[in-house]
Structure formats: structure tokens, C-alpha cells
Amino acid sequence: MKKLVPNIITSLNLLCGSIAVISAINDQLAKAALFVLLGIFFDFFDGFIARFLKSESPLGFQLDSISDMVTSGLAPGIIMFKLLSNSLTESSYHSMIIPYFSLLIVLGSAFRLARYNISKPQSIFFTGLPTPANAMFVIGLALVREYSGINFLLALLEDPFFLLILTLILTFLLNSNFKLITFKFKTYGIKENFSRYCIIMMSVFSLIFFDYAGISLSVIFYFVISLIYPPLIKN
């Protein structure tokens, strides 16, 4: 029975990702963002429960990867598709083609997850931007577009060139060789987890002072701090 519990939680991740995809297709980006966040929560929680119950299994590993592909791969790709589509006001040949470049995020996520599945366990660092972090960045953009009153950010999100370049950067980072911090704490001491606590504090600061933009900004802090403190990742 205890082996079933983590798989049920993982299935909730998959369910949330599926709802997020449907919501994004229907141009309900705020709803899509909410369910991506819920899916990422279940993604973190299922691993924690599996380790706590000592019920990790090959089935759970595969189910987790499939769920991540939907919640943190397909859903952000569709959200970016909608952002690009909405930024193209004129109906033309280019406006029909350009949004499909957003699906590079889906392809990049698939390669990222496949590479993760066949690599050595990444308990100390991630190689490349994790798909949940990428998804968080994209849904941050969607929430800024839906709710933010910051004209500078809204102008950027109305620029298809900016969104296209951003898509290419995110796809590259997903499959890059940058070593990024994991949040699998073995101890809770400040010295051993200084970089992790820095990321957490900067993320809280970003959410308080930059509202929805703080979600995407938190991912940027995560990436930058991971590069600043590489020795802590390698220890």
C-alpha cells in the first residue's frame, strides 16, 4: 500500500499538468499557471514521500518523468505559444508560423528529461536547467501579462522578437552543461547550504517586491547563484 501513495501523488501532478494544457489552449493563462504550480508542488512532494516511506520504485520513476513532461514540458510550451500568438497582432504568414517556435520548449524539455533518466543520479547538482524551473519562469511571464501593471514588462511581453529569443535561450539552458543547485537537503546548516538559503531569501524578496514578476526573477536568481557558488555544488 505504501508504494501506491507516491504514485497517487505523482498522478495528481499529471492531472494538474493536463488541466494546465487544456486551460492554456483555451487562453486561460492564469488558470494554466495555477495548475502548473500545483503540479510542481506534487512533483516535489511525491519524491519526498517516496524517500520518507522508502517506497521508491522503477514504476514511480517512469511515471514521474511522464508527469513532468506534461506539467513542466508541454504546458509551458503551450503557454509560450499563446504568449507569442497574442503578441502578433497582424494576421500574416509570419504570425501563423512564429508561435510554433515555442514548441522548442516542449522538445527541449523532452530531451532534458530523457538525458536525466539515463544519467547518473543528480542528487548534488542538476546538469542543465530543470524543467520545473523552466516552467516556473514561463508561468511567471503569463501571470505578469495577465495581472501586472508594469508597462515596461508588458511592452516586452508584447514583443514577439523578445519572446522568440527567450524561447531559444530557455531551450538551450534546458540542455546545457551548467551545474545547478538541487534542493535535496542532507543537513540544514548554514555553511553547507549557504547558496540554497541565498536562493530562498532572494526568491522571497522577489515575490514580495516584484509581485508576479518575482516568479520568473526567482528562477534567474537560482541560475545566477548556482553559477556564483559552483564549489558548493561539487562538494
The string of pLDDT tens digits covering residues 61-95 is 888 999 999 999 999 999 999 999 999 876 655 67
pLDDT of 187 reads 66
Amino acid 230: pLDDT: 63
Domains of the chain, each with CATH number or no CATH: 4-178 (1.20.120.1760)
Positions in the chain short of pLDDT 50: 231-235
State the pLDDT at residue 235: 44
Identify whether the C-beta of residue 34 lies closer than 8 Å to the C-beta of residue 19: no
Burial of 55 (0-12, 13-18, 19+ CB in 10 A): middle
Single-letter code of the amino acid located at 225: I
Give buried/exposed letters for 97-113 (b at 16+ CB in 10 A, else e): ebbebbbbbbebbbebb
- Report CA torsion sign: 47, 22, 114, 11: positive
DSSP label of 179: E
**Host H or E run for residue 180:** strand 179-181
Please give the helix or strand (H or E) that residue 181 lies within, else none: strand 179-181
Cβ count within 10 A of residue 233: 16
pLDDT at 233: 45
Angle at 148 between CA 16 and CA 218, to 5 degrees: 65
3-state secondary structure (DSSP) of residue 88: coil
Backbone angles phi, psi at 176, to 5 degrees: -80, 175
In this structure, which long-range contacts are made by residues 151-160, counting pairs with CB atoms below 8 Å and at least 24 apart in sequence? 153/213, 157/83, 157/87, 158/87, 159/87, 160/84, 160/87, 160/88, 160/98
Whole-prediction pTM value?
0.90
Tell me whether strands 125-127 and 179-181 are parallel, antiparallel or unpaired: antiparallel
**pLDDT (0 to 100) of residue 163:** 96
Dihedral sign (CA 73, 98, 31, 142): positive
Quote the pLDDT of residue 88.
Answer: 86
